[in-house]
Amino acid sequence: MAGARHEPLLEGRELRHSYDGRLVVDVESIEVRAGEVLALLGPNGAGKSTLMRLLAALETPDAGRVIYIGREVAKDDRRLRRAAAAVLQPPYLWRGTVAQNVEFGLKARRLPANERRARIGAALETLEIAGLRDAPADGLSAGERQRVALARALALQPEILFLDEPTADLDVTVRRRLLADLERVVRHAAPAIVLITHDPGEAFALADRVAVMEQGRIVQTGTPGDIFEAPATEFVASFTGAEFMLNGIVETAEEGTMMVRLDSGQVVEAAGDCEAGAAVRVGYRPEDVVIAPPASPATSARNRFDARLARLHPQGGLVRLRLESDGLSLEAVITRHSLEELSLEVGARVVAQIKVTALHVFPV
Amino acid sequence: MDLLADAIRQAFGLLFSGDPYLWRIIGRSLQVSSSAVLLGLLVGIPLGTWLGLARFPGRGVAVALVNTGLALPPVVVGLFVYILLSRQGPLGALGWLYTPSAMVAAQFVLAAPYVAAITLAAVQSVPPELRLQARALGAGRWQALLLHLREARLSLMAAVAAGFGAVISEVGAVMMVGGNVQGETRVITTAIVLETRRGRFATAMALGLILLAIAFAANAFITRIQQAAPRRRRPLTS
């Protein structure tokens, strides 16, 4: 999002942490670079929040080290804790007014009263809640509470800002507005941000880099483009939207492309380097399946299937299609507009096309 | 019935006449019980906070002991403190027996478990993540702990009221260790016993009404806190 610089500000090395004998974080290496937005993306229970707490020196790892600007972080490290701020989930506000909440961290840092006043005013303005300054915190809506929690952290002008699921529990409209404001705020303040989220869309929209977590481990780190285009594992592919998998065997493999015979009998061409004869799973995103009328001219997509439309499932502005092609079932997503333009209805014949690079192959 | 109505009428007359005997007893009661509750707070709040937040082997037993303290019979506490302060007792050298100090000591033993138990429940009612959030904003451990107690402050005030209510109305312990000496260790409850025995029902009733008023004020305070609490926990809406 912001122009990321590349020196590591915060690093975690060989971090292990357990709760009640269950290993919840097992991370070889992670780094947060100055000015970047790093998203920790994963399902519930993947260890994201625990990793965040270890990196923020809010908990001490069972093993491993956290390094802040080249120096190992000690237990309750004040240097890091004064440079960082975190917004936990849910946003815990305490009794008192909005201004008193925002003032808390400033008082903890023993800033003079005039500076505290100025920072409170600026933070509330930035989050567009200046009108709530003297409102009691326990009377706020969920969206307002989240904004106050963000203002409370931003007022500290942190070098690293940890945001744990900042849009959880918000309805769609409030969430959309908060995300837009968050992006603006981050551009303006430009701290390094560690964003915890289970929403790939949120991670891809806000982050410069994404670390995908599964069962306490980081299974892939890269730019949103890297993660989206080349998911490293079936889990990453599935979690980031390529949730449909086809089983097959690699027939030939050369120069980064493979011919894979699917269990349904069709042969598809896909990018990757599995060996010939290997059993694989082929994943695709339904939005990468292009639908065209029958006998339409060939395109650059090498994988073409003559198919019958078996089912239509409207989803707001989009429509999910189930296609059947000689024993192969495919899912596709098109807009309502495209559906009308193609005059599609159940039973219609279509051509389904998928690019070589849109198929993600994983060894079984 | 006439006796009761007559006693109540005379009691109000005594209360508004400014009878020094009556007001000295009321003053001594408030002084002894307030001192005991203050000491109870000094011990009970840190103890309750520690038991509420710390995790250590045997914590369950310690919590059970504190809760047992809520059911301590005042006469048993009086006996225990009497033995401690009697001339042959380990604290006999203090010379406190039959003085207000002995009464404060006995009432302190009764008040401290109330304060500790209510403090324990109060600090546990605050989400522990609140302290984590405070530390995530740069607060030290003590700053975060103070914030935690501040969040529990309404319930802590209930601890004060409950402790005070428990000791102001007890008679067994203060009678045993104070001796009900006029002008020295006579308090409302011991005076009620004495005046009733003497057949001075109006004085006993006046003291009883004062005691009821004090108990009512303490309980009204708790009720007000309890009714204010749900407003804080209202469900979130956006």
8 Å CB contact of A85 and B137:
yes
- At residue B156, the 3 state secondary structure works out as helix
Give the model confidence (pLDDT) of A124-146 as tens digits: 998 889 999 999 998 898 889 99
CB-side neighbour CA atoms (13 Å) of B194 = 16
Q: Would you say A260 and A280 are in contact if contact means Cβ atoms under 8 Å apart?
A: yes
Q: What is the pLDDT of residue B1?
A: 60
pLDDT band at B237 (very low <50, low <70, confident <90, very high): very low
Q: What is the pLDDT of residue B162?
A: 82
In order, the DSSP letters of A3-72 are: ----SEEEEEEEEEEEETTEEEEEEEEEEEETT-EEEEE--TTSSHHHHHHHHTTSS--SEEEEEETTEE
Going from N- to C-terminal start, the domains of chain A cover: 8-238, 244-363
CB within 8 Å of B194: residues ≥ 6 apart: B180, B186
8 Å CB contact of A108 and B151:
no
Helix axes B100-125, B59-69, angle to 10 degrees: 130
Helix, strand counts (H, E) of chain B: 11, 0
Q: A244-363, which class in CATH?
A: mainly beta
Q: If one looks up domain A8-238 in CATH, what number appears?
A: 3.40.50.300
In order, the DSSP letters of A269-331 are: EEES-PPTT-EEEEEE-GGGPEEE-TTPPP-S--EEEEEEEEEEEEETTEEEEEEEETTEEEE
- At residue A127, the 3 state secondary structure works out as coil
∠ CA B114-B115-B116, rounded to 5°: 95
CB within 8 Å of A113: residues ≥ 6 apart: none
Give the model confidence (pLDDT) of A284-302 as tens digits: 999 999 999 887 777 777 8
8 Å CB contact of B137 and A143:
no
Query: Which of A49, A75, A79, A81 should be substituted to probe chain B, the one whose Cβ sees the most B Cβ atoms within 10 Å?
Result: A81
CA distance B94 to B164: 26
CA distance A121 to A79: 26
8 Å CB contact of A142 and B231:
no
Domains (range + CATH), chain B: 2-226 (1.10.3720.10)
Q: What is the pLDDT of residue A101?
A: 95
CB atoms within 10 A of CB A57: 24
- Six-digit token pair at A54? 């270890």
User: pTM for the full model?
Assistant: 0.79
CA distance A350 to A292: 6
Phi then psi dihedrals of residue A312, to 5 deg: -120, 135
A-chain residues near B236 (CB < 8 A): 90, 141-142, 145, 169
CA distance B131 to B139: 9
CB atoms within 10 A of CB A314: 10
8 Å CB contact of B232 and A138:
yes
Give the model confidence (pLDDT) of B166-215 as tens digits: 899 899 999 999 999 998 999 999 999 999 999 988 888 888 988 998 88
B-chain residues near A166 (CB < 8 A): none
Q: What is the pLDDT of residue A4?
A: 47
**Partners of residue A248 on adjacent β-strands:** A262, A280
A-chain residues near B135 (CB < 8 A): 58, 81
Q: Would you say A84 and A56 are in contact if contact means Cβ atoms under 8 Å apart?
A: yes
CA distance readout (Å), B171 to A274, B126, B180, B202, B234: 88, 36, 10, 19, 42
B-chain residues near A94 (CB < 8 A): 130, 147, 150-151
